[in-house]
Amino acid sequence: MTADAHASGAHSSEVLIVSLGSTPGLRAADDELRASLERAGASATVVSARRPRPVRTLMLTDLSWARAARAAAESALVSPQRPRAPIVIYSSTTAALLWPVPGAIRFDSPAAANRPGRHGVWQRPLERRRVREAPLLLPWSERSLAGLPVDAASDGRALVVPVCVEPSAPGGFGAEAPARDIAALTYAANPRKKGLDKVLGAWRQARSEVRSLEHEELVVAGARERELRSAGLVATREEGVRVLGALAPGEFRALLRRARVFVCAPRREDYGLAQLEALADGCMLVTTPSPGPYAALSVARELDARLVSDELVAALRAAFEAPLAGYAARARDALAPFRRAAVDDVVARELLPRLTHGARLA
């Protein structure tokens, strides 16, 4: 059956995406899924959890977000503007923990994998229960299933639906890019998790050793300079490092189009959306081989294995002193499974029919 045939029979499907939306990446992923479902012929709505007050521990943080997601779902389900019972997709296992009704669960990584020890003492057992009850599991990648019960991956409920990644400018992949006047760019919204200390150490050493980098800068996005100074990560007006703070998605993608290298050293990576966006916008990706369901990692290795190393200084030197020809063009081919057309095909041919026939639960 063609995608058009699926779509023609799906106009009666109403999908409610309960979005945690705690990061720009999660919000972008939910908006892309909504748009993809609509292109497949469904009516789709995203309802977002209201950001709770900051708390001290991951346990309480997850509880606050789970309660906010439940409140958002309950409000949407009783809305007089929603006369029919929708199909519900919870975006992240945290959003599903306190669900008011069962639904499909979409996730980059489960608490079983990224909330070890005391950090996930109440989340993990409740997550296992929700995973057993969910009619459909929608991991961002195959590796996203790591940590879940074995039967969750083998009983036919799991369908990989990647997050769409497109170039941010016409032509993309560096084809119409402005001059690449930024040597290196990194993203550090969570500095410790993103390994900013390792990135800064490697950059400082590479800059002192590589003559061409003597007057170049590493641009740090996503973290405030005051925060980084307080943590002892950067000095005031440090030469060779520029901290820009939080950026709108469009501003961040504009920087990617100007950068030659995107460098990161995450202590754990649950997907690597920023890294995939960097590749889409023509950057070389320099990264450590970090644990977690790091979808961008295998792509980076395929493009240039020298740039994937715990020896981050050597990887930076290779990128700046001996870049491989055709890197951006090969990135275009390697990212084909993440492009909008490929994700739309999965949504139209597989996801929407399975949602329509088995997940109308509200």
User: Does residue 360 register a pLDDT over 50?
Assistant: no
Residue written as token pair 């041919």: 349
Q: Which two tokens stand for residue 7?
A: 């779509």
Q: Which two tokens stand for residue 131?
A: 């995973």
Residue 252 confidence class, pLDDT cut points 50, 70, 90: very high
Contact 11, 39 (CB under 8 A): no
- Which among 184, 227, 225 is positioned nearest to 207, based on CA atoms? 184
153 vs 175: CA distance, rounded Å: 39
Q: Residue 206, exposed/middle/buried by CB under 10 A (0-12, 13-18, 19+)?
A: buried
- Segment 64-81 mean pLDDT: 93
Contact 189, 264 (CB under 8 A): no
282 vs 177: CA distance, rounded Å: 8
Contact 334, 303 (CB under 8 A): yes
Percent of the chain with pLDDT over 70: 93
254 vs 256: CA distance, rounded Å: 5
Q: Which CATH number fits domain 182-336: 3.40.50.1980, 3.40.50.300, 3.40.50.2000, 1.10.3720.10?
A: 3.40.50.2000
Give me the pLDDT at residue 80, please.
78
Domain ranges of the chain: 3-164+339-358, 182-336
User: Does residue 350 register a pLDDT over 70?
Assistant: yes
Q: What is the mean pLDDT of the chain?
A: 91
The CATH-assigned architecture of domain 3-164+339-358 is 3-Layer(aba) Sandwich (3.40)
151 vs 132: CA distance, rounded Å: 9
Same fold, 3-164+339-358 and 182-336: yes
**Containing H/E element for 18?**
strand 14-19
pLDDT, one tens digit per residue, over 260-307 is 999 999 999 999 999 999 999 999 999 999 999 999 999 999 999 999
Helix (H, G, I), strand (E, B) or coil at 149: coil
Residue 24 confidence class, pLDDT cut points 50, 70, 90: confident
- Segment 232-245 mean pLDDT: 91
Positive or negative CA dihedral for 178, 279, 212, 219? positive
From 155-164, 165-174, 175-184, the region with the lowest mean pLDDT: 165-174
Helix (H, G, I), strand (E, B) or coil at 241: strand
Q: Which two tokens stand for residue 144?
A: 């996203």
The half-sphere exposure of 27 on its side-chain side, counting CA atoms within 13 A, is: 10
Measured in whole angstroms, how far is the alpha carbon of residue 321 from the centre of its chain? Answer: 30
Q: Residue 171, exposed/middle/buried by CB under 10 A (0-12, 13-18, 19+)?
A: exposed
Q: Which two tokens stand for residue 9?
A: 């029979």
Q: Residue 215, exposed/middle/buried by CB under 10 A (0-12, 13-18, 19+)?
A: exposed
DSSP string, 151-208: HHHHSS-B---PPP---SSTT-TTTT-----EEEEEE-SSTTTTTHHHHHHHHHHHHH
pLDDT, one tens digit per residue, over 33-61 is 999 999 999 999 999 999 999 999 999 99
User: Does residue 64 register a pLDDT over 60?
Assistant: yes
From 39-48, 63-72, 174-183, 341-350, the region with the lowest mean pLDDT: 174-183
194 vs 192: CA distance, rounded Å: 5
Give me the pLDDT at residue 12, please.
58
Name beta bridge partners: 243.
220
Radius of gyration of the CA atoms of the chain, in A: 21
350 vs 346: CA distance, rounded Å: 5
User: What end-to-end distance do the CA atoms of the chain give, in Å?
Assistant: 28
- Segment 331-351 mean pLDDT: 97
